[in-house]
Chains A and B, each alone.
Chain A
Amino acid sequence: MGPASLIVLITAAIAFSGIAILISRFVLKATTNKQKGEPYECGIPTKGKTWVQLNVGYYLFALIFLIFDVELVFLYPWAVAAKATGWIAFIEIVIFFFILFSGFLYAHRKGALKWL
């Protein structure tokens, strides 16, 4: 079907979820009380704010991920041409991986991959 299929799929997804939610709105008889809107925390009233600062470890991993993901994007066109290009492609990718890997080793040495 070609590119039109993407429109079809997005429309189908929105229609499917929208109709499902709408049907459930019509079917049920909603009641309200004070307890219903409270966040679920195993029955105990919540203390403090939810949106607090989290462990910095998550962000460190996100930063390292960014480096490697950009690398992965570069690898896609290389992978398509690798077999036709021959040994030059292989040597180039070895150099590319060497640079990346030294960055990875640096992050490892600095303790960025250690979870606190």
Chain B
Amino acid sequence: MWSFSQIANNVHEWLGRTFSPSMALFFEMVLAGIAVIGLFALLGLVLVIMERKVSAWMQIRLGPNRVGPKGMLQSLADTLKLLVKEGLTPDGADKFLFNLAPFIAMIVAMLLMAPVAFARDFQLWDMNIGILYVSAVSSITVISILMAGWSSNNKYSLMGAMRSGAQIISYELSAGLSVLSIVVLTGSLQISEIVHSQANGWWIFKAFPTVLVSFVTFIIAVTAETNRAPFDLAEAESELTAGFHTEYSGMKFALFFLAEYVNVFIVCAIGATLFLGGWMPFHIGNWQGFNHVMDYIPSSLWFFGKTFFLIFVIMWFRWTFPRLRIDQLLTLEWKYLLPISMINLLITTAIAILGWHF
């Protein structure tokens, strides 16, 4: 049976045998870059078509069905269309910041890929501060959004950016606190250690009531952090046309769109890693036979299955809840989610110290 980590090792060994060490490292970096760009583009295409198909399914209609089999190539056609569109820059805009903002959005989305464990022993960089890195880098997103909104010289953009700023920084707190409850239980910030700690069951089952609460707060918070409905005040179509990217067109708009979808994927991947075991198959305690059967399903399939399930849940939210007002949004965070997640962290700490989990 071959796996991602085996392929990576084989390529690494082959490069080491064929070239000098510095050249081998260079080629490895180039290959990794190409792989990451390919994954990025593929994720964008898949998530856009998935969003459209899921929304069509929720509203009992067909969705895109002309391009390719069952409309599966629709997002590719859309990308081609965006490629030949003109990228306008408004006259009054701050040109430098206006053009810089999509680059920053892309760099942040790409940097978040580093600690994500896609399969067993398959990670770009298994750093010992993985969780801290994710929360640190993901908070740079707000800078690109504020930059885009402020520099466009458009009132809709500015309003959208200000709302988005208030929203993202608020929800970062409860996202961080709910992540911390897993760190307390595991005693490590390293992604691989967190995944290995779930070898005898996922955290959501092992420390049942408290981790479930932090899982729910985490999902709500990341939905708000990635600017998705019902928290899509930053780009509320019916109020602000498109919020912070009203003035963006052509490829720059496509880059924002892509970065946004990849951010959704990454927060879902982090959620799946922390609460649902990442690439770890579904194990129950010491049931050797059952665990052995589960091990036959490849680890990458487990990871992508869980991640896409969480993405589906977030898409589900969009067609279930009406959009919140800005004051309701901030009330929900500051008066409900933040106290709940603080108290939940205390209870989780007590449980971890008492050892009242499996």
* Contacts from A to B (Cβ < 8 Å): 1-18, 20-21, 23-25, 27-28, 30, 36-42, 46, 50-51, 54-55, 57-58, 61-62, 64-65, 68-69, 72, 75-76, 79-84, 86-87, 89-90, 93-94, 97, 101, 104, 108, 113, 115
Task: Verify A61–B250 contact, CB threshold 8 A.
Answer: no
Task: Verify B33–A39 contact, CB threshold 8 A.
Answer: no
Which of A40, A75, A90, A104 is B353 in contact with, Cβ under 8 Å?
Answer: A90
Task: Verify A58–B247 contact, CB threshold 8 A.
Answer: no
Known: A37-B91, A42-B241, A51-B158. 9 other contacts (CB 8 A): A8-B124, A17-B103, A36-B88, A39-B152, A39-B247, A51-B153, A86-B353, A89-B349, A93-B346
Task: Verify A23–B349 contact, CB threshold 8 A.
Answer: no
Which of B88, B92, B111, B352 is A9 in contact with, Cβ under 8 Å?
Answer: B111
Among B57-65, B172-180, B279-287, B289-297, the one that faces the other chain is B172-180
A-B pairs, 3 with minimum CB distance: A115-B327, A37-B91, A13-B110
Task: Verify A9–B36 contact, CB threshold 8 A.
Answer: yes
Name the prevailing secondary structure of the B interface residues. Answer: helix
Chain A contacts for B183, CB-based, 8 A: 76, 79-80
Interface size class of B (residues with CB under 8 A): 35 or more
CA distance A75 to B33 in the complex (A): 34
Given known pairs A36-B88, A40-B246, the reply for A50 and B154 (CB within 8 Å) is: yes
Q: How far is the CB of A18 from chain B (nearest CB, A)?
A: 8
Chain A residue at minimal CB-CB distance from B104:
A13
Chain A residue at minimal CB-CB distance from B154:
A39
Which of A18, A41, A82 is B184 in contact with, Cβ under 8 Å?
Answer: A82
Q: Can you name 20 A-B pairs with beta carbons within 8 Å?
A: A1-B28, A2-B125, A6-B114, A8-B32, A9-B111, A10-B110, A13-B107, A16-B41, A17-B103, A24-B83, A37-B89, A39-B90, A39-B155, A58-B165, A80-B189, A83-B353, A84-B187, A90-B349, A115-B327, A115-B330
Report the tally of A-B residue pairs with Cβ distances under 8 A. Answer: 200
Per-residue interface assignment for chain B, residues 328 to 355, with 1 indicating a CB less than 8 Å from any chain A CB and 0 otherwise: 0011001100100010011001101100
Task: Verify A65–B170 contact, CB threshold 8 A.
Answer: yes
* B277: interface (CB < 8 Å): no
Most central of A9, A97, A104 by chain B CB within 10 Å: A9
CA distance A9 to B334 in the complex (A): 35
CA distance A101 to B326 in the complex (A): 23
Chain B contacts for A97, CB-based, 8 A: 342, 346
Chain B residue at minimal CB-CB distance from A27:
B84
Q: How far is the CB of A105 from chain B (nearest CB, A)?
A: 10
Which of A16, A65, A89 is B106 in contact with, Cβ under 8 Å?
Answer: A16
Chain B residue at minimal CB-CB distance from A101:
B342
Which of A39, A84, A89 is B92 in contact with, Cβ under 8 Å?
Answer: A39
Chain B contacts for A55, CB-based, 8 A: 162
Q: How far is the CB of A44 from chain B (nearest CB, A)?
A: 11
Per-residue interface assignment for chain B, residues 162 to 194, with 1 indicating a CB less than 8 Å from any chain A CB and 0 otherwise: 100110011011001100100111011100000
Chain B contacts for A40, CB-based, 8 A: 90, 154, 156, 241, 246-247
